Amino acid sequence: MRTHKITIPGLIMLFALVVLMESCSTVPLTGRSQMSLLPESNMVAMSLTSYDQFLDSNKVSTNEQQVEMVKRAGRNISAAVEKYLTENGYESYLQYFDWEFNLVDSEVPNAWCMPGGKVVIYTGILPLTQSETGLAVVMGHEIAHAVARHGNERMSHSMLVQMGGMALGEALKQKPNETQAIFSAAYGLGSQYGVMLPFSRQHEYEADKMGLIFMAMAGYNPQEAVAFWQRMSANSGQKPPEFLSTHPVDSKRIAALNEIMPEAMRLYEASK
């Protein structure tokens, strides 16, 4: 009778598989399974620290008209997000959101949303959004990243690779610098070629779809998303090949948006 010995590496692999199976969650709206090793409460706590530091070192816009537009679009889309989560069995997600919307003076055409619903729009993107509806494209996309917990997924993947799935609490105690570096990388402050880049593009496509649905539910015409990305494409100049970029090439992004446009338009019409 043949016997099988379980080696230490085998036990480690078995443990890792169990951790992965128990740490799978589902992305709202798309239904994709994702790995989430980290408590969302910890992600929110770390994001608040980074968010406060950012606001302390950057100038918040005093343009009252633009600031009000940002806050209004944020209120409308966050209300649509909360409605969707409530009606589709994701009420538990709401406890982690304490929405805040800021416009920051910067020539960089950028925007982001941290876990917990802390949103920053840079004034440099407003010439490209051109209107509140264009801004809703950006706002919906960035909020979708937070709703889908893409940062948690990226950080979970990195911690599994770099720290063997060490619990976040232990990682913060034993390797605080490494843990902070992983958090920064999860939010685009670092990059690497290879495995992580297709993963990032997947998140971009997912945020595009979710953002389109959220803006439509909020009463913004989703067709503006195509026009916005066309303007972004025209403004971007020469880009690196897709395999060296964390974002989809514009033509593929626009094609993907057009595929889900009929669904978004139905929701937009229903919102009127």
pLDDT tens, 170-224? Answer: 655 666 666 656 665 565 543 333 333 444 788 899 999 999 999 999 999 999 9
Tell me the average pLDDT of the chain: 80
Cβ neighbour number for residue 248 with a 10 Å cutoff: 19
Nearest one of 38, 45, 50, 49 to 159, comparing CA atoms: 38
Identify whether the C-beta of residue 119 lies closer than 8 Å to the C-beta of residue 142: yes
Average pLDDT over residues 71-86: 98
pLDDT at 53 (0 to 100): 86
Every domain of the chain and the residues it spans: 28-271
- Pairwise CA distance, residues 183 & 189, whole Å: 9
Average pLDDT over residues 252-264: 94
Containing 120, the helix (H) or strand (E) segment is: strand 118-122
Token code pair at residue 105: 């003076």
Residues facing residue 108 across a β-bridge: none
Average pLDDT over residues 26-39: 84
Average pLDDT over residues 40-54: 85
Alpha carbons within 13 angstroms on the beta-carbon side of residue 113 total: 25
Q: Confidence band (pLDDT; 50, 70, 90) for 16?
A: very low
Could you tell me which residue, 182 or 98, shows the higher pLDDT? 98
Q: Confidence band (pLDDT; 50, 70, 90) for 18?
A: very low
pLDDT tens, 228-250? Answer: 999 988 887 655 554 445 567 77
pLDDT at 65 (0 to 100): 98
The residues assigned a catalytic role are: 142
Is pLDDT above 90 for 24? Answer: no
**Whole-model pTM over 0.85:** no
